[in-house]
């Protein structure tokens, strides 16, 4: 990737927070939220940043959009250094975050957009065309005179996106834009995000929904404990576990730790997780393809009441869980 093709570059980014602990004998602690993150995002690329809560995703995003200064390392957006030229960065980016904050509920959607257009330096003449364009683009045309306090979660998220695009940014940061949104609204938002990338806008997306990342992202970086653990296209990440099959076994009773340990110890079993799904648990067993291994797994569950049993190819979620799991295991190994 040549310099002219790069929209975002992070090199060795670090962010340390100082905090105090204790009451009678307070001590200062330094917590490293981001520990040497490096990656590049091409112009017009839709790049996903995935990781568990507390992994450093939002801290990384806030350093890239100038809301936080890096403790060490450097980053640039469209050639503008985030620390030395924050205004140059801010003029070229938009930031959309999930949740209800960031809008004025007593104002209408139209008044919200007018207010933010003023903040972004969009002139009155351009506002007269730009605001209706944005309302049309996000599907809020005809509802713009209603107060935001009466909007649904999905409508608020659409208004967030319209607000973030008012000043025609070249780079858009989307921090969990579909969180808490109903399935229909989430599908509309995903289509909107895909359209932004198709129009040439560089998008960085954080999300906890693996299917969303798989559908939308050109490339993905997985961050855990402040470190990038894996990076590549969704297909490349899935290839990490492609040599395994996934057995999903619905169990109608609690499976004890001794039996789970016995399952993990079976030849051909690479990983095992348990997920609660309604009134039952689902055992998700990653196994090496073999005619014998599935039978050995089911034999180890003899006497346990089971329901649906299925075997499938790994998904991006399986790859993500494997990457995060390996990172956690490595962190527990004494230095």
pTM of the model: 0.82
Q: What is the mean pLDDT of the chain?
A: 88
pLDDT at residue number 333: 45
Helices (H), the chain: 57-64, 86-90, 109-119, 124-137, 153-165, 183-198, 210-216, 234-239, 257-264, 293-300, 316-332
pLDDT at residue number 271: 83
Angstrom CA distances, 28 to 31, 36, 71, stand at 10, 22, 17
- Could you tell me which residues come within 8 angstroms of residue 28 by beta carbon, excluding any fewer than 6 positions away? 18, 19, 20
Strand order in the sheet with 72-77: 27-42, 6-21, 72-77, 80-81
Instruction: Map out the domains of the chain as residue ranges.
Output: 3-239, 245-313
CA 145 to chain centroid: 32
Burial 3-14 (b: 16+ CB within 10 A, else e): eeebbbbbeebb
pLDDT at residue number 273: 83
Per CATH, 3-239 and 245-313 having the same topology is answered no
pLDDT at residue number 1: 65
Class for domain 3-239, per CATH?
Answer: alpha beta
Superfamily of domain 245-313: ACT domain (3.30.70.260)
User: Measuring CA to CA, which residue among 194, 169, 200, 189 is closest to residue 43?
Assistant: 200
pLDDT at residue number 334: 46
pLDDT at residue number 50: 94
Q: Which residues of the chain have pLDDT under 50?
A: 333-335
């Amino acid at each position: 990737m040549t310099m002219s093709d790069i929209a975002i570059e992070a090199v060795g980014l670090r962010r340390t927070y100082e905090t105090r602990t204790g009451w009678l004998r307070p001590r200062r602690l330094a917590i490293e939220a981001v520990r040497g993150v490096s990656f590049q995002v091409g112009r017009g690329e839709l790049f996903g940043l995935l990781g568990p809560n507390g992994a450093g995703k939002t801290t990384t995003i806030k350093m890239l959009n100038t809301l936080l200064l890096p403790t060490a390392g450097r980053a640039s957006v469209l050639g503008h250094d985030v620390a030395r030229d924050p205004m140059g960065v801010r003029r070229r980016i938009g930031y959309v975050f999930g949740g209800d904050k960031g809008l004025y509920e007593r104002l209408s959607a139209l008044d919200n957009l007018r207010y933010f257009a003023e903040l972004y330096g969009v002139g009155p003449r351009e506002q007269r065309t730009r605001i209706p364009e944005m309302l049309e683009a996000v599907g809020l045309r005809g509802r713009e005179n209603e107060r935001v306090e009466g909007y649904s979660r999905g409508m608020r998220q659409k208004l967030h996106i319209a607000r973030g695009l008012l000043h025609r940014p070249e780079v858009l940061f989307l921090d969990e834009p579909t969180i808490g949104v109903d399935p229909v609204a989430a599908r509309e938002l995903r289509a909107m995000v895909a359209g932004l990338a198709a129009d040439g806008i560089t998008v960085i997306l954080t999300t906890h929904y693996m299917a969303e990342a798989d559908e939308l992202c050109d490339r993905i970086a997985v961050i855990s404990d402040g470190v990038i653990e894996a990076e590549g296209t969704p297909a490349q990440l899935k290839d990490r576990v492609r040599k395994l099959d996934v057995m999903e076994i619905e169990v109608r009773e609690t499976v004890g730790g001794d039996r789970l340990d016995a399952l993990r110890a079976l030849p051909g079993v690479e990983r095992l997780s348990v997920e609660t799904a309604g009134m039952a648990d689902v055992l998700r067993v990653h196994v090496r393809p073999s005619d014998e291994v599935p039978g050995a797994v089911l034999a180890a569950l003899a006497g346990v009441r089971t329901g649906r049993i299925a075997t499938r190819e790994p998904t991006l979620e399986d790859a993500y869980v494997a990457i995060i799991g390996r990172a956690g295991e490595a962190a527990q190994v004494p230095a």
